[in-house]
Structure 1
């Protein structure tokens, strides 16, 4: 039986290559991919990620080749992204503590959560969280996605996160312990040197946030703790880190090698790479 991978995308814009990279490697391995978004809306690529003439301000050059722009555009327009799963429909949301009859609602929440996450974890061999600026809006602090991540970790199944999608891993925490699941782990992600000073944009929203609302590098340094570490690998062309069950990718050019490493994790039991 071929392996199945659940790929989660933002509804506010994903970076084209950061979807194409892992999906192409999963396709090559013969895996089945299923897509999901926070509310089941069709995801869309960020326009700059489809433009080979767009110059990335911090890097001072284009990060999208004409061939990759074409592949990203084809996937973005393809029927593969139609009718994604809805995390809102699949996974319950924890009730407010101010809710009437809170105890009964909390018991019901835990019952539904266990059923929902068990079904998803049983149905997929790995989880992928695609990067871009969109995850800042609807993935980073998405409690439903946090619960899904925690369930994959509990089941000892791998999770690949890219770029600002790595923030999901930093914020996914056990409700009681409140400690990041990255504590003691080694990761990469968008370093401070790669952050925009201005121009962080989203799909469907006419709004320039300016710089990202939080420096991901600082959050990851804090989340990994004294026994883990953040590896920006600034000055190196690619940065992918495997510290099982996590595969993390820094940015756009790391998407293809990150997809390859996920396949190696699933096929060859790779447990450590990149530091």
Structure 2
């Protein structure tokens, strides 16, 4: 049976970005495990279940899954799991990831091992792309890249995203959410802008703002722009896994 690990924020995940891939993979027979940084249940960003923001149908669907899915209500800690035990590791987005998942050492380990592993895939959605700005490549992967003569990637201790094509939540959209002091609607100050940090880490960023959806595949790393790309991201992941 194929399997997937979802690494979900306790500080506010965006409903559709988790629920869409989770239910899609579930319907294809995947065994799903949910992990959070501390092992406590993930927290839903209430804006992602507000009918005025996402429509009544999506809001009802997201809240129903959030409240009733056993896997979301009984997660494990990211420290307890290994990427090699799953076919895919999925990182749903949401602003909350900036405060926990993206900077968590075990979440970064899971991403690195999934991308550098033999058969795993990693799907990183929206604000979760910020984890790419904090994740270093392993020395083993860097040496392998050099030995194979592949296109230059990250060198020893460089960022995993260096030289990779990626998409994610763009600055242009962030400008419509935070105020002039980078404060969120709930008053929290955004610690960083995802696009800026991923570019600084060497990623080839293109959010494809003229396209309805944006999903980028670079080796075993899949990235998606935002909630509107969640369905396309889930299908792309299935295609890449030949599921």
Q: CA–CA distance in 2 between the matches of 1:174 and 1:16? A: 29
Q: How far apart, in 2, do the equivalents of 1:208 and 1:246 lie? A: 33
Aligned residues of 1:25 and 1:263 also touching (Cα < 8 A) = no
CA contact (8 A) 1:133 1:200 kept: no
- For 2:222 and 2:192, locate their aligned partners in 1 and report how far apart those are by CA, in whole Å: 22
Question: Is 2:157 the partner of 1:178?
Answer: yes
1:28 positional shift: 2.4
Provide the rounded CA distance (Å) in 2 between the counterparts of 1:151 and 1:128: 13
Partner of 1:248: 223
Shift of 1:153: 2.3
Q: How far apart, in 1, do the equivalents of 2:21 and 2:122 lie?
A: 12
Q: Distance in 2 between matches of 1:149 and 1:22?
A: 17
Alignment of 1:121 onto 2:93: no
> SS state of the match for residue 71, structure 2?
helix
Deviations 1:148-177 (A, max 9, x none): 222222313110011110111231104773
- Alignment gaps of 5+ in structure 2: 140-155
Contact 2:10 / 2:96 at 8 angstroms: preserved in 1? Answer: yes
Q: Are residues 1:169 and 2:169 paired? A: no
8 A Cα contact 2:83 2:89, kept in partner: no
Give matches, 1:63-78, under 5 Å. 64-78=54-68
TM-score scaled by length of structure 1: 0.75
Task: Choose 1 or 2 for highest CA Rg.
Answer: 1
- Deviation readout 1:164-214 (Å, 9 max, x if unpaired): 10111231104773311111110001111010223526xxxxx5124x321
1:80 to 71, 95, 100: 71
5 Å-filtered alignment, 1:255-266, equals: 255-266=230-241
Return the offset for 1:25: 1.6
Instruction: Give yes or no for the alignment of 1:219 onto 2:197.
Output: yes
Question: Structure 1 runs of 4+ off > 4 angstroms?
Answer: none
- CA deviations over 1:228-253 (Å, ceiling 9, x no partner): x2111123221111112111011111
- Count residues with an aligned counterpart: 220
Asked if 1:200 is matched to 2:184, the reply is yes
TM-score by length of 2: 0.84
5 Å-filtered alignment, 1:149-160, equals 149-156=111-118, 157-160=120-123
Q: Map residues 27-176 of structure 1 onto 2, 5 A cutoff.
A: 27-54=26-53, 64-78=54-68, 79-88=70-79, 90=80, 120-156=82-118, 157-174=120-137
